[in-house]
Amino acid sequence: MVMWKRWAVVAVMGVGACVAVGLATYSFRVEQVSPESQPSVKQLLPEKAETARPVFRVDGPDGRASSRKMATAVAVPGLADMDVEQLIDLLGGRKNEPTKQASKRLGEIGVTAVPALIARLESTFTNDKSFNKLRWWCVNTLGNIRDKRATPILVKCVSLDPDPHTRWRSIWALNVIKDDRRIDMLRDRMKATESKLEQFNIATALSSMGEDDGIRIIEETTRSEDRWLRWQAVSALGRIKSPETLAILIKCLNDPDHSIRQEVAMSLGRLEDKAAAPALIEALSDPKPGVRWRAARALGQLKAEEAIPNLIKLLDDKDASVMSQAAVALGQLGCKSREVAKKTLKMLSSPDKDVRSKAASAIANIGTSDDIEAVKNALEKEGKKHIRRKLERSIKALNAAGAR
């Protein structure tokens, strides 16, 4: 009997030890693969700075903004006691919160931190085309401090940095610092170099400043075999408003890559030239929905009333983004067709919140006072606050139109 009890105690202790080892092993594996120890590309990419307004726009995979709530910022221990070099080191760290707080602290230090930020950028030039978090945040911090001493290094980054994220942020920084020397410095570099790629980088920067010095090199790049360079070229052309630019972009609507055609449609809308309307109307028949909805958006921006019949056809498009963007464009063009109003009202019950959101805005311009009751019914059923606000504004607009 005693022997049996002894064996039971040993067995229980053995099981307990196995469980403990198993839990420890599991905890170790979880720690190894946790997001903090192995950050994703998304985690390493720069987040929007406090005062940052990007010069360039890149659509997300689904074209939608994230509605995820950001976590409350946690103070980084010892940050206030760090010197400038230590703070700059944090800009390249894996965790984003210390990076953002270090950048903010450097901004508070202000002009005193500028020489060290410039020196760090100078010392970290490489041929690596991958995203460099440290360099991006050095550029971003210099832009927020807005000290003109940073202009030469930012011009160098615009011209030579292999990472497009840092180049684009450098263009943003040059434009917020507003040093009058920046355009002449860029032009001087363009004349001094024989590198086509450097000339193109500079031409892209000049286009953001409303200068067309590099239009020839940009046009040449629209024929590049490199898809990414072609995308940058047609995006840059959208900031150079001239008849010459319009003709180049219209040719690019035949690009074999649909992502290029999408950007061409956006650039044509930004040019604010109604002469683009015929080409954009033709793009409404593009096989790719991304091109069709961007063409519809551009036609609405251009107030191209001749596009109304073609846009009405898109209200029956199989793609929800095309259908809803067509409704928005028709509203911008002042279309008051009852057929269009009925189809727009039907969109208010779509399971797709983006379709409902666009329809909620469009109905204010498309509908009449006869549609107020239907919009009120949609408001009662709508659960999304931002769509409810749009519906409420549309009801007010329809009421006001009815009173007139």
In a domain, residue 146? The reply is yes
Residue type, 316: D
Contact at 8 Å (CB) between 211 and 232?
no
Q: Any idea what the CATH number is for the domain that residue 139 is in?
A: 1.25.10.10
Instruction: Using the structure block, give the residue that is written with the tokens 């991958």.
Output: 130
Instruction: Give counts: helices (H), strands (E), the chain.
Output: 22, 0
In a domain, residue 161? The reply is yes
Work out the angle between the directed axes of helices 133-145 and 96-109 (0-180°, nearest 10).
30
* Contacts for 85-93: CB closer than 8 Å, 24+ residues apart: 85/116, 87/113, 88/113, 88/116, 88/117, 88/120, 88/134, 88/138, 91/133, 91/134, 91/137, 91/138, 91/141, 92/132, 92/133, 92/134, 92/137, 93/133
Q: What is the dihedral sign for C-alpha 34, 36, 162, 242? A: positive
Of the ranges 144-153, 279-288, 329-338, 394-403, which one carries the lowest mean pLDDT score? 394-403
Q: Could you report the per-residue pLDDT of 224-273, keeping only the tens digit for each? A: 999 999 999 999 999 998 889 999 999 999 999 999 999 999 999 999 99
Q: List the alpha helices (DSSP H) in 55-132.
A: 84-91, 96-109, 114-123
In a domain, residue 277? The reply is no
Of the ranges 79-83, 231-235, 398-402, which one carries the lowest mean pLDDT score? 398-402
Q: Model pTM greater than 0.85? A: no
In a domain, residue 139? The reply is yes
Q: How far is the CA of 88 from the CAs of 3, 134, 165, 265, in angstroms?
A: 68, 8, 18, 40
Determine the pLDDT at residue 72. 46
- What total number of domains does the chain contain? 1
Name residues whose C-beta falls within 8 Å of residue 167's C-beta, 6 or more positions apart in sequence. 157, 158, 161, 201, 205
pLDDT above 70 covers a percentage of the chain that reads 81
Determine the pLDDT at residue 241. 87
Return the structure tokens found at 173: 């920084």
In a domain, residue 270? The reply is no
Q: Could you report the per-residue pLDDT of 132-142, keeping only the tens digit for each? A: 999 999 999 99
Please give the average per-residue pLDDT across 287-311, as a whole number: 97
Contact at 8 Å (CB) between 290 and 301?
no
Contact at 8 Å (CB) between 194 and 222?
no
In a domain, residue 210? The reply is no
Give the domain extent around 94. Answer: 80-179
State whether residue 35 is helix, strand or coil: coil
Confidence of residue 97 (pLDDT cuts 50, 70, 90): very high
Burial class (CB in 10 A: 0-12, 13-18, 19+), 229: middle
In a domain, residue 247? The reply is no
